[in-house]
Structure 1
Amino acid sequence: MAIINRTPDSFYDAGRTYDLDAAVQACADAVAAGADWIDIGGQPFAPGTPLTPREEAERVLPVIEAVRHQSEIILSADTFNPEVAALSIKAGANAINDTSGLSNPDMAAVIAGSDAHLIITHSLAPPRTPWPAPRYRDISLEVADFLKRKIDQAIALGVAEEQILLDPGHDLNKNTLHSLELTRRLEHITSLGFPVLASVSNKDFIGETLGKDRNERVEGSLAAAVICVMKGARIFRMHNVAPAVAALHLTEAVLGWRKPLELRHNMTSPEPGSTEDLP
């Protein structure tokens, strides 16, 4: 899942894809680099002044419409606003990435009335609201319990089980030790039986662990993604698409899920009588 933020204040790209043409081109570049999915956002989860639904829609919808016109790639809208979600689905989005963890129950009604998927993310604070010094007794079990409750709520409101995906929410209202432990014990989330999204790309838990600034975290992001594969995650929200595709394809090949693109190394039979016949 490639990340395209049409915001002037996104934590990683700092407005690089805020211009509409730049956002659409970034989507095309992500497809060319091997992305299977593009997540398009109009405002960050981080604390700040919320946009109105109209302002957010004006950022997100033109990108969804333009990319849908060009490609059949999976598209999601990164939004916690039900009105923006409904408009995004109408424009061609296949999924809604709700980083607020279904904080607005109306989001379930939007999904229930569509063929779109809903990504339910663990977070504690309301959207764009700080939650200083979060505390957990057992991070992985508490996140799993939160997601179970949100799954039950979504189903009760009409969302089908097959529409639901989960995101444990690395770094969202969590410190670095929390995110590391959540990664180490991710099987508590993947064992819930729903597809799990790992959104680990360039997160602060990687930067703080390695002492790296935001533009120096690619290697750590790839390592975190591979660990999450081994723990059962199946969707990966990544900024640096080409390196992520390479790392994840190799991991899939090792696990037997993907065949190598070519087989040449030590595949040629030796000529009769050559030294290669010697033991």
Structure 2
Amino acid sequence: MTTLNQPATWRCGRFLFDFSKRQRPLVMGILNATPDSFSDGGKFRTPKDAIAQAELMISAGVDIIDIGGESTRPGAEPISLQEELDRVLPVIEALRDCGVTLSIDTYKAETMRQALIAGVDCVNDIWALRQAGAVEAVLENADCGIVLMHMQRDPQTMQLSPEYQDVIFEVLQFLKVRSELLIQKGVDQNRIAIDPGFGFGKNLEQNISLLANFQDFTSLGLPVLAGISRKSMLGKITGKETNERVSSSIAAAIMAADRGAKIVRVHDVPETVDALKLWDAIHSHINT
């Protein structure tokens, strides 16, 4: 079995995750306060509905709640800063003291700033802080967690014939360069996690390669996030519609965990938590 280069800790604002004391990946629950996200758009658009969904995830054992106000599905149109803030800030403020880590899923620097002030612990950015002012926004906060994701092109064009000479090498090099840039600017390494970006500028074959070789991304010594839940790659393999991909999403999360994922970003929190409890029990028995 491949020996994985494991990170020691991950700092997320008020929370510190010690990976030397746990094998089970952190479960990041997706909370889309949007009308048009690919899987659950519109279901949690009002603060009341979003908060109720968050409470369900907390009771199921979620570790992180990832709050997003703008869809980044293929072909999604961008929204204004104010519209995004109007969607996410009431949810953040209501959940600020809920007892679990809060993350903001955004690429806008001002949304990052205001979300951090409102109480989030982590910035999860599909652009890997490449938008104007984003690096400066996280530098202003000494403790927030940071998730850097790889994406080829942008949400409007990323799925138009994505091309790579070597998808693993190119994605890994991108994440290495982006994380090293932050470290050079004074960000502690233990605040940074990386995400190879399943479905963000990758076709089915490239996505399968990312999962099959997921352990390669652990070579940077940073926590690696797997975000595969309900994505089109699963539909293409199983023939199932978006909301029928719970089983394949859980299977993908387990495969990623076997290959060193430290965070799995999912829609179906109770089912994933249960599956990972079993995975953890077996791995703990093997290692005793």
TM-score scaled to structure 1, two decimals? 0.88
Note if 1:42 corresponds to 2:69.
yes
Instruction: Report deviation, 1:164.
Output: 0.5
State the percentage of identical aligned residues: 36
CA distance, structure 2, for counterparts of residue 130 and residue 79 of structure 1: 18
1:1-279 to 2 correspondence within 5 Å?
A: 1-46=28-73, 47-69=75-97, 71-104=98-131, 106-114=133-141, 115-126=143-154, 128-131=155-158, 132-256=160-284
CA distance, structure 1, for counterparts of residue 267 and residue 76 of structure 2: 22
The residue type paired with residue 204 of structure 1 is S
CA distance, structure 1, for counterparts of residue 284 and residue 55 of structure 2: 30
Which structure is richer in relative contact order (CA contacts within 8 A, separation 6 or more)?
2
Q: Give 3-state SS (helix, strand or coil) of 1:256's partner.
A: helix
The residue type paired with residue 213 of structure 1 is E
Please say if residues 74 and 94 of structure 1, whose CA atoms lie closer than 8 Å, have aligned partners that are also in contact.
yes
Deviation digits for residues 28-68 of structure 1 (CA, Å, limit 9, x no counterpart): 11101111110000001233331121211111111011011
Distance 1:164 1:244, change over 3 A: same
Instruction: Report deviation, 1:23.
Output: 0.5
The residue type paired with residue 190 of structure 1 is T
- Out of 211-220 and 43-52, give the one that drifted further: 43-52
Deviation digits for residues 139-163 of structure 1 (CA, Å, limit 9, x no counterpart): 1111101101111222233322111
Distance 1:40 1:188, change over 3 A: same
Structure with greater strand percent: 2
TM-score scaled to structure 2, two decimals? 0.86
Number of matched residues? Answer: 257
CA distance, structure 1, for counterparts of residue 136 and residue 216 of structure 2: 28
Distance 1:28 1:257, change over 3 A: farther
Please say if residues 201 and 237 of structure 1, whose CA atoms lie closer than 8 Å, have aligned partners that are also in contact.
yes
Instruction: Report deviation, 1:257.
Output: 8.1
Runs (5+) with no aligned partner, structure 1: 260-279
Please say if residues 37 and 72 of structure 2, whose CA atoms lie closer than 8 Å, have aligned partners that are also in contact.
no
Please say if residues 249 and 258 of structure 1, whose CA atoms lie closer than 8 Å, have aligned partners that are also in contact.
no
Instruction: Report deviation, 1:119.
Output: 0.2
The residue type paired with residue 176 of structure 1 is L
- Out of 2-11 and 149-158, give the one that drifted further: 149-158
Deviation digits for residues 227-270 of structure 1 (CA, Å, limit 9, x no counterpart): 101110011111011110011111111111899xxxxxxxxxxx
CA distance, structure 1, for counterparts of residue 176 and residue 195 of structure 2: 12
Instruction: Report deviation, 1:105.
Output: 5.4
CA distance, structure 2, for counterparts of residue 50 and residue 239 of structure 1: 22
Please say if residues 106 and 124 of structure 2, whose CA atoms lie closer than 8 Å, have aligned partners that are also in contact.
yes
Deviation digits for residues 152-181 of structure 1 (CA, Å, limit 9, x no counterpart): 222233322111010111111111111111
Please say if residues 112 and 160 of structure 1, whose CA atoms lie closer than 8 Å, have aligned partners that are also in contact.
no
CA distance, structure 1, for counterparts of residue 220 and residue 41 of structure 2: 35
